[in-house]
Amino acid sequence: MYQGSCLCGKVKVTIAGGIDSIIHCHCSLCRKNSGTAYATNGFIQRDGLGITVSYWQSLDAIKAWKQNVEHLNAQQLGRDKWYSAFTTRIAKVERDYSL
């Protein structure tokens, strides 16, 4: 199992299974995000993707993130290269139980 997050830490991702078709991307966004000449990316099977969670202080914070230029560029790149569809669900955490 692999775990990670976006650069700002707002989105958490868990991947079950293997990662294959590893590539080195040289697009401007990947170069900027990695701080190097390229970013290394891999592909997973769709059923291997776990839960993606993003925690925000308010609905206004979500709206501001949705309008962020870097986020919009990354979103478009994801649509063009990897995802034919995605679903966004917004929920309010009423209680948090921990062990």
Give residue 37's domain range.
Answer: 2-81
Q: Cα–Cα distances in Å, from 7 out to 4, 93, 94?
A: 9, 23, 27
> Across the strands, what pairs with 12?
5, 53
Q: Is residue 90 part of a domain?
A: no
Q: How many domains is the chain built from?
A: 1
Q: Is residue 64 part of a domain?
A: yes
Q: Is residue 26 part of a domain?
A: yes
Query: Could you report the per-residue pLDDT of 19-46, keeping only the tens digit for each?
Result: 888 889 898 888 888 889 988 888 877 6
Query: Could you report the per-residue pLDDT of 45-79, keeping only the tens digit for each?
Result: 766 665 566 778 888 988 898 898 888 888 888 78
Structure pTM?
0.43
Q: Is residue 93 part of a domain?
A: no
